Structure 1
Amino acid sequence: MIKLVALDLDNTLLTNDKKISQVNELALKKLTATGVKVVLCTGRPINAIWHYIEQLGLTGADDYTITFNGALVINNTSREVLAKQGLTKTDLVPLHDFCKANGFPMDILDFDQVYPVTDLVKSIYTLGGGIKFAPMTFDELPDHLYAKVVAAQKPEELDQMIATLTPELHEKYHIARSQPHILEFLSSTTDKSVGLHALLQHFGWDESNLMAFGDAENDAGMLKAASVGVAMANAIPEITALTNYHTGTNEEDGVAEFVDQYFKLN
């Protein structure tokens, strides 16, 4: 029995202009009214998506969000941390060395702000929600835990970066392309599925109770783990191939289409 529905945001729940459509909003509110938990799963911090949380009414005492692609599971209202993992500054040294040697950018995110690394080429990374950007050199970075690293550049430049990545980097980090212009580096044990597993355990459930929707590489883990993993029609081919469940595009209210049919909401 599905008790928790996990939703990627960009190109899944959100339209191309970064909005939750009225159709999707209504379907998800109907779903939560039946007692099924709806959980947003994103690479962003919670402050950057708070308007979506409010729009869907996910502000109850037991509502949570999976942020930083699984590095942080946080209560929406109390901001109590349920699960947390990440990368130390020492962990980031090989990636910084690689970016410096090959002319690639780095934006390093802790759980509060973004550190554009100024001794590397300039990034095109942006993030809403009033998140602070604190540019500094790698040597100036505080020695504490970081959620992830983002390499943001034009898609064709990112293609070159991906082609240049070494086996050692693939072994050290969980690397996923979350958008055509964004490549993300997480700890090797960080994934949306890991954050969801912690949340399911918190509620006394497991992956047999999980439905997940996604479209991109950073959604692969949760789609494979879920009892019902749903690929959007606009998903990359690798994601489409992961699951037997498919729905319309993010522009066609694909999330609402699937939940309405599966849960017989209409």
Structure 2
Amino acid sequence: MSGFRSAASSFSSIHRPQGISSPWDTPVATPHESPATTPGGSPILRDSDGKRLPKADDIKMILSDVDGTLFTDAHELHPTTRDAIRYIRQTRPNVPFIPVTGKQLTSCGDLIKELGIEDMPAACMHGAIIYDKDRKIEQSMSLDPHFVRDVARLMRKHNKSTFLYVEEWNAMVTKEENGSKDWEQVARGFDPAVRDERETDFMQRVLKGREKISKIFLPMDESVVPDMIDLIEKTFHKVPFKITRALPYIIEIVAEGVDKSAALAFFCAKFNVEPKNVISFGDGENDVGMFGASGYSVAMANGMPKPKAVATYQTGSNNEGGVGQFLNAIFRPDHTEGPDARLNPDHLSMLDERLGAVESPLAAGAYP
């Protein structure tokens, strides 16, 4: 089994062809006077391609996605990520660490406690709901109820599963029959509070405004996702909404104007931090806006192509503790991983089972 990769060697900057710029490019800090040290004599930290990393003092706020970023594929925190964030919280308590996720807050309780960020706000369902540190809603946006009903009807017609997210739970209102996967169980892996509402009056409660839908969650075979996106956009071309994806096989629909970049702007105003001093982490297309608004952005090795293309840096995968690797390189570059800073074999065996791996990644040495 391969050893755990060092923080300095596990990520690289993203290079684009000369003359091609990205609309999300954000200038980084001014280079130091010396190629080797800062004017004060401190060493300059660089990634494996030689690109300068931000100094710890450059970072005034940290935002991170959860699934596929903080969480491993088994929906658990990697020890390296957990320990790096707790170290920052202990040594730099004035640097906010805020989860900005497609998940519901009820699904983030254990993560919040494990990271020691109980005193921090959170943005959930891609920023549709923003909570303060006391878990009171500061801002929320929901979808038009008739649009919600019509999307569910369209999914039923095409034999696709539909999950409608209210604040604390989500309703399964259609279920794919004879599908390649049990999409109800897939949905529970991300947000466990799923209720089967196919034979109830739930949709009537939505239409009457008694249930506010913050997000529509549509899992399906990845091969049909492009056609379904095209169908939804053509069917509802006169309706304002936004389609995003955190994973290749899930279509998510939120209200127009909902975006993680808007959540970033909200938190910058709240904490009086300039966007250039924000570092963000993510792996999905839903993170692209946040990346564009951040001074520093870091895509996971397991990320989708779009976030990788626009990020300032790339780090290790979620199963390698990539967030922790990158933060350690900035905030404690001399740190050496302890013997427990890797996923244990029991955890990896469980991960293989959950992923339904035909060829075990554990046996192949794919995990640290």
Give TM class, smaller chain: 0.7 to 0.9
Q: Given the superposition, is the C-alpha separation of residues 265 and 83 from structure 1 closer, same or farther in structure 2, using an over 3 Å criterion?
A: farther
Partner of 2:195: 133
Match of 1:112 among 168, 171, 177: 168
| Closer/same/farther in 2, CA of residues 96 and 131 from structure 1, 3 Å limit | closer
The alpha-carbon distance between structure 1 residues 256 and 139, as it changes in their structure 2 partners (threshold 3 A), is closer
1:30-79 deviation digits (Å, cap 9, x = unpaired): 1122131111121111111111111001112xx11111110111134x21
The alpha-carbon deviation at position 186 of structure 1 amounts to 0.3
Please identify the structure whose Cα radius of gyration is greater: 2
Indicate the residue corresponding to 2:231 in structure 1. Answer: 164
Counterpart residue number, 1:173: 241
Q: In the alignment, which residue of structure 1 is the partner of 2:213?
A: 146
Higher share of residues assigned strand: 1
TM-score, length-scaled by structure 1: 0.88
Give the structure 2 partner of residue 71 of structure 1. 128
Q: Structure 1 residue 11 and structure 2 residue 68: aligned? A: yes
For 2:160, give the aligned amino acid: F
The structure whose RCO (Cα within 8 Å, separation 6+) is larger is 2
Say whether residues 1:47 and 2:106 are aligned partners: yes
Could you tell me which residue of structure 2 aligns to residue 22 of structure 1? 79
- Give the alignment partner of residue 212 of structure 1, picking from 249, 274, 280: 280
Change in 2 beyond 3 A, CA 1:18/1:109: same
Whether the aligned pair in 2 keeps the contact of 1:31 and 1:265 (CA below 8 Å) is no
Q: Pick closer, same or farther for the CA change 1:134–1:199 going to 2, 3 Å.
A: farther
| Alpha-carbon spacing, 1:141–1:178, altered in 2? closer, same or farther (3 Å) | farther
**Residue identity opposite 2:242 in structure 1:** H
Q: Please name the residue that 2:362 is paired with.
A: none
Decide whether the 8 Å contact of 1:214 with 1:235 is kept in 2. yes
Q: Which position in structure 1 is the counterpart of 2:325? A: 257
Q: Cα offset for 1:136?
A: 3.6
Aligned residue for 1:37? 96
Q: 2:264 touches 2:293 (CA, 8 Å); kept in 1?
A: no
CA, structure 1 residues 18+261, in 2 after alignment: closer, same or farther (shift >3 Å)?
A: same
Q: Secondary structure at the match of 1:117?
A: strand
What's the % identity of the aligned pairs?
24
Aligned residue pairs total: 262
Taking structure 1 as reference, are residues 181 and 53 closer, same or farther at Cα in structure 2, changes over 3 Å only?
same
Residues 1:101 and 1:134: Cα distance change in structure 2 (over 3 Å): closer
- Cα deviations by residue, 1:7-43 (Å, 9 ceiling, x for unpaired): 1112211122221122111111111221311111211
Cα offset, 1:173, TM superposition: 1.8
| Deviations 1:135-176 (CA, angstroms, capped at 9, x unpaired) | 046742433321110112233343542353334647732111
Task: Verify the 8 A CA contact 1:193 1:222 in the aligned structure 2.
Answer: yes
SS of 1:240 mapped into structure 2:
helix
Read off the aligned partner of 1:88 and give its amino acid letter. Answer: D
Is the Cα contact below 8 Å between 1:173 and 1:186 reproduced in 2? yes
Counterpart of 1:175 in 2: which secondary structure?
A: strand
Q: 2:70, 2:77 within 8 Å by CA — same for their partners in 1?
A: yes
Shift of 1:90: 2.6
Amino acid at match of 1:133: R
Task: Give RMSD over aligned pairs.
Answer: 2.4
Task: Please tell me the residue identity of whatever aligns with 2:106.
Answer: N
**Residue in structure 1 matched with residue 115 of structure 2 by the alignment:** 56
Alignment gaps of 5+ in structure 2: 1-57, 335-368
Q: Secondary structure at the match of 1:11?
A: coil
Q: Is the 8 A contact 2:164 2:217 kept in 1?
A: yes
Alpha-carbon distance, 1:181 to partner: 3.0
With the length of structure 2 as denominator, give the TM-score of the two structures.
Answer: 0.65
In the alignment, the residues of structure 1 paired with residue 147 and residue 102 of structure 2 have an alpha-carbon distance, to the nearest angstrom, of: 19
